[in-house]
Chains A and B, each alone.
Chain A
Amino acid sequence: MNPDHALREITRRHFFSRCSLGVGSIALASLMAERGLAAAPTANLRNPFEPKPTHFPAKAKKIIFLFMAGGPSQLELFDYKPKLTDLNGQPIPDSYVAGKRFAFMDSTHRTNLLGTKRTFKRRGQSGAWVSDLLPHTAGIVDEISLLTTCKGELFNHAPAKLFMNAGSGLFGRPSMGAWVTYGLGSECDDLPGFVVLQSGPRGPRGGAVLWGSGILPTTYQGVPLRNQGDPIVNLSTPQSVSVAQQRQLVDAVRELNLKRLIETGDGEISTRINAYEMAYRMQTSAPELMDISGESQTTLDLYGIKDLKETSFARNCLLARRLVERGVRFVQLYDTNWDHHGGPTENLEKHLPLKCLDVDQSSAALVRDLKQRGLLDDTIVIWGGEFGRTPMGEVRESTGRNHHIDAFTMWFAGGGFKAGQVYGQTDEFGFGAVEEPVHVHDIHATLLHQLGLDHERLSVRSQGLDFRLTGVSRAKVVKGLLEA
Chain B
Amino acid sequence: MHLKFLPVLATGLLIAPSVTHWAEAPRPPKVEFSRDVRPILSQNCFACHGFDKAARKADRRLDTKEGATATRDGVTAVVPGRPEASELVARIFASKEEDMMPPKKSGKLLTALQKETLKRWIEQGATYQRHWSFESPQRRLPPVVPGASHPVDRFIQARLAEEGLTPSRMADSLTLIRRVSLDLIGLPPSPDEVANFVKASAKDPEAAYRELVDRLLSNPHYGERWGRWWLDQARYADSNGYSIDAPRQIWKYRDWVVEALNADMPFDQFTVEQLAGDLLPNATENQKIATGFHRNTQINQEGGIDKEQFRVDSVFDRVATTGTVWLGLSVGCAQCHDHKFDPIEQKEYYRFFAFLNSQEEPTLKVFDSNLDVRALTAEFKETEGKLTELLKQRGDELATWEAGLSVEFKKTLSSELQNALAVPQAKRSLAQNRLLFGSILGPSDGFRVVNDRYTDLDTLLNSGTTTMVMQELPKPRKTTVFIKGDFTRPADEVTPGTPAVLHAFEKPREQPTRLDLARWIVSPQNPLTARVIVNRLWQQYFGRGIVETENDFGMQGTAPSHSELLDWLAVEFLERKWSLKEMHRLIVTAHTYRQSSSDRPELRAKDPNNILLARQQRLRLDAEIVRDVALAASGLLSPKLGGPPVYPPIPDGVMGQGQVKRAWTVSKGEDKFRRGIYTFVYRASPPPSLNVFDAPDGYSSCTRRLRSNTPLQALTLMNDSGFFEFATALEKIIQKDGLDTAFRRCTTRAPRPDELAVLKELDTLNAARALLNLDETLTRE
Tell me the A residues contacting B by CB distance below 8 Å.
4, 36, 38-41, 43-46, 48, 52, 101, 103-104, 156-158, 170-172, 182, 192, 202-209, 212, 217-219, 223-224, 226, 228-230, 232-238, 240-241, 245-246, 248-250, 252-253, 255-257, 259-260, 263-269, 271-272, 275-276, 278-280, 282-283, 403, 454, 456-457, 460-461, 463-465
Of B300-308, B427-435, B501-509, the one with at least 4 CB within 8 A of chain A: B300-308
Choice from A39, A182, A228 contacting B11 with Cβ under 8 Å:
A182
Instruction: Report A-chain residues with C-beta under 8 Å of the C-beta of B14.
Output: 48, 217, 219
- Does B634 lie at the interface of the complex (its beta carbon under 8 Å from any beta carbon of A)? no
Give me 13 other A-B pairs in contact (C-beta within 8 A), A43-B12, A104-B303, A234-B719 excluded.
A44-B13, A45-B13, A171-B683, A203-B656, A207-B684, A209-B684, A217-B694, A230-B651, A235-B715, A256-B774, A260-B776, A269-B775, A275-B709
Instruction: Find out whether the CB atom of B713 lies under 8 angstroms from the CB atom of A275.
Output: yes
Instruction: Report A-chain residues with C-beta under 8 Å of the C-beta of B719.
Output: 234-238
Instruction: Report A-chain residues with C-beta under 8 Å of the C-beta of B557.
Output: 464
Instruction: Report B-chain residues with C-beta under 8 Å of the C-beta of A465.
Output: 330, 333, 556
- Does B357 lie at the interface of the complex (its beta carbon under 8 Å from any beta carbon of A)? no
A265: nearest residue on chain B (CB-CB)?
B599
**Contact flag A463-B712 (CB < 8 Å), given A171-B298, A204-B659:** no
Instruction: Find out whether the CB atom of A248 lies under 8 angstroms from the CB atom of B766.
Output: yes
Within 8 A of A (CB), among B655-708: 656-661, 683-686, 688, 691-692, 694, 697, 699-700, 706, 708
Tell me the B residues contacting A by CB distance below 8 Å.
7-16, 107, 241-243, 245, 298, 300, 302-306, 320, 324, 329-330, 332-333, 341, 488, 549, 551-552, 554, 556-557, 597-599, 601, 604, 608-609, 618, 620, 651-654, 656-661, 683-686, 688, 691-692, 694, 697, 699-700, 706, 708-716, 718-721, 724, 754-755, 758-759, 761-763, 765-767, 769-770, 773-776, 779, 781
**Contact flag A43-B7 (CB < 8 Å), given A171-B241, A249-B718:** yes
Instruction: Report A-chain residues with C-beta under 8 Å of the C-beta of B766.
Output: 241, 245, 248-249, 252
Instruction: Report B-chain residues with C-beta under 8 Å of the C-beta of A257.
Output: 774-776
B772: nearest residue on chain A (CB-CB)?
A253
Instruction: Report A-chain residues with C-beta under 8 Å of the C-beta of B7.
Output: 43
Q: Which of B598, B688, B712, B754 has the most CB of A within 10 A?
A: B712
A246–B724 alpha-carbon span in the complex (Å)? 12
15 A-B pairs in the complex with CB atoms less than 8 angstroms apart = A36-B601, A41-B12, A48-B708, A158-B302, A202-B661, A240-B765, A241-B766, A248-B766, A252-B767, A256-B774, A279-B712, A461-B8, A463-B330, A464-B552, A465-B333
Within the complex, the shortest CB–CB distance from A144 to chain B, in Å, comes to 30
Instruction: Find out whether the CB atom of B710 lies under 8 angstroms from the CB atom of A275.
Output: yes
A230–B715 alpha-carbon span in the complex (Å)? 12
Between A and B, how many residue pairs show CB distances below 8 Å?
A: 254
Choice from B556, B598, B608, B699 contacting A172 with Cβ under 8 Å:
B699
A280–B711 alpha-carbon span in the complex (Å)? 8
B16: nearest residue on chain A (CB-CB)?
A268
Choice from B302, B306, B770 contacting A252 with Cβ under 8 Å:
B770
B658: nearest residue on chain A (CB-CB)?
A207
**Contact flag A156-B305 (CB < 8 Å), given A252-B766, A275-B713:** yes
Choice from A38, A157, A252 contacting B758 with Cβ under 8 Å:
A252
A240: nearest residue on chain B (CB-CB)?
B765
A250–B685 alpha-carbon span in the complex (Å)? 29
Instruction: Report B-chain residues with C-beta under 8 Å of the C-beta of A403.
Output: 304
Which 3 A-B pairs rank lowest in CB-CB distance, beginning with the nearest?
A265-B599, A43-B12, A464-B330
A236–B716 alpha-carbon span in the complex (Å)? 10
Instruction: Report B-chain residues with C-beta under 8 Å of the C-beta of A103.
Output: 304-305
Choice from B604, B709, B716 contacting A268 with Cβ under 8 Å:
B709
Instruction: Find out whether the CB atom of A265 lies under 8 angstroms from the CB atom of B758.
Output: no
Instruction: Report B-chain residues with C-beta under 8 Å of the C-beta of A256.
Output: 755, 758-759, 770, 774, 776
Choice from B242, B549, B601, B618 contacting A266 with Cβ under 8 Å:
B618
Within the complex, the shortest CB–CB distance from B309 to chain A, in Å, comes to 9
Instruction: Find out whether the CB atom of A275 lies under 8 angstroms from the CB atom of B551.
Output: no
**Contact flag A203-B659 (CB < 8 Å), given A48-B710, A157-B302, A249-B773:** yes
Instruction: Report A-chain residues with C-beta under 8 Å of the C-beta of B556.
Output: 464-465
Instruction: Find out whether the CB atom of A271 lies under 8 angstroms from the CB atom of B714.
Output: no
A46–B549 alpha-carbon span in the complex (Å)? 24
A238–B728 alpha-carbon span in the complex (Å)? 11
Instruction: Report B-chain residues with C-beta under 8 Å of the C-beta of A464.
Output: 329-330, 333, 341, 549, 551-552, 554, 556-557
Instruction: Report A-chain residues with C-beta under 8 Å of the C-beta of B709.
Output: 48, 219, 268, 271-272, 275
A104–B15 alpha-carbon span in the complex (Å)? 43
B313: nearest residue on chain A (CB-CB)?
A170
A256–B541 alpha-carbon span in the complex (Å)? 26
Instruction: Find out whether the CB atom of A207 lies under 8 angstroms from the CB atom of B716.
Output: no
Instruction: Find out whether the CB atom of A252 lies under 8 angstroms from the CB atom of B781.
Output: no
Within the complex, the shortest CB–CB distance from A175 to chain B, in Å, comes to 13
Instruction: Report A-chain residues with C-beta under 8 Å of the C-beta of B713.
Output: 275
A268–B754 alpha-carbon span in the complex (Å)? 22
**Contact flag A245-B763 (CB < 8 Å), given A212-B697, A219-B14:** yes
A241–B691 alpha-carbon span in the complex (Å)? 25
A484–B306 alpha-carbon span in the complex (Å)? 44
Within the complex, the shortest CB–CB distance from B34 to chain A, in Å, comes to 17
A238–B722 alpha-carbon span in the complex (Å)? 11
A104: nearest residue on chain B (CB-CB)?
B304
Instruction: Report B-chain residues with C-beta under 8 Å of the C-beta of A171.
Output: 241-242, 298, 683, 697, 699-700
A410–B15 alpha-carbon span in the complex (Å)? 37
Instruction: Report B-chain residues with C-beta under 8 Å of the C-beta of A4.
Output: 754
Instruction: Find out whether the CB atom of B694 lies under 8 angstroms from the CB atom of A218.
Output: yes
**Contact flag A252-B775 (CB < 8 Å), given A48-B13, A205-B243, A279-B714:** no
Within the complex, the shortest CB–CB distance from A171 to chain B, in Å, comes to 4
A45: nearest residue on chain B (CB-CB)?
B13
Instruction: Find out whether the CB atom of B330 lies under 8 angstroms from the CB atom of A260.
Output: no
A253–B608 alpha-carbon span in the complex (Å)? 27
Choice from A182, A228, A233, A264 contacting B599 with Cβ under 8 Å:
A264
